[in-house]
Amino acid sequence: MPDAEIIKAGNVRALAVERFDRRWNAERTVLLRLPQEDMCQTFGLPSSVKYESDGGPGIARIMAFLMGSSEALKDRYDFMKFQVFQWLIGATDGHAKNFSVFIQAGGSYRLTPFYDIISAFPVLGGAGIHISDLKLAMGLNASKGKKTAIDKIYPRHFLATAKVLKFPEVQMHEILSDFARMIPAALDNVKTSLPTDFPENVVTAVETNVLRLHRRLSREYGIK
């Protein structure tokens, strides 16, 4: 997890997050940019097709690319785990430009930390937005086509996707069962770490919807 804090600039509150793509030189006089590419750059695509629905890469293409990572097993596992996380928190903006790789010496590469992650649950009910409107940026495999609608996704869709990708079924079960076990305590930890003046409506919206989706996991894995 990066260092992050809520700051105030004038009358504006913002979330300040430490960047992972910058490092000081040895003398701490110059801030260096670490070489990296997002998935649109990697595949030579314009940002206008960053969403899979617009012709951009989806889970399968990125997972295939990560086979060549210098940390392929870890990166592929983490990428699949992140797909479940995005679903649980209602993160709808996981498009190709929000996944990147570090470019390393000799032309090797590995997945960067995940970034630009935000839950859409707090906007539900505003401007006529319903849970049925929330969709993942990259679809999961289903018996017919792809599933993107967050409220229509169940553990079986992650397992079906893993099967198509030849991602080990045992690892996909492990990821899903870990989330089933850990989510309630994780929510409690987050709530206790928030500032006292953090908007209660945001907390309620996220917690209520995360727990609703979490029940689909807990039923599947027999965890209360």
Let me know if residue 6 belongs to a domain: no
Let me know if residue 5 belongs to a domain: no
Residue 75 annotated among the catalytic residues of the structure: no
- pLDDT at site 171: 98
Let me know if residue 57 belongs to a domain: yes
Let me know if residue 20 belongs to a domain: no
CATH number at residue 144: 1.10.1070.20
- pLDDT at site 224: 66
Q: Which of 21, 54, 78, 93 is catalytic?
A: 93
* Per-residue pLDDT tens listing for the chain (224 residues): 778 888 888 889 888 888 888 999 999 999 999 999 999 999 999 999 999 999 999 999 999 999 999 999 999 999 999 999 999 999 999 999 999 999 999 999 999 999 999 999 999 987 778 999 999 999 999 999 999 999 999 999 999 999 999 999 999 999 999 999 999 999 999 999 998 989 999 999 999 999 999 999 999 998 76
- pLDDT at site 15: 86
Owning domain of residue 169:
35-221
DSSP the chain: ---EEEEEETTEEEEEE--SSEEE-TTSSSEEEPPEEEHHHHTT--GGG-SGGGT---HHHHHHHHTTSTTHHHHHHHHHHHHHHHHHHT-----GGG-EEEE-GGG-EEEPPP-----SGGGTTGGG--GGG-EEEEEEE-SSSEEEEGGG--HHHHHHHHHHHT--HHHHHHHHHHHHHHHHHHHHHHHHHS-TTS-HHHHHHHHHHHHHHHHHHHHHHT--
- pLDDT at site 125: 83
Let me know if residue 7 belongs to a domain: no
Let me know if residue 13 belongs to a domain: no
Let me know if residue 79 belongs to a domain: yes
59-72 residues labelled b (16+ CB within 10 A) or e (exposed): bebbbebbeebeee
The tally of domains found in the chain comes to 1
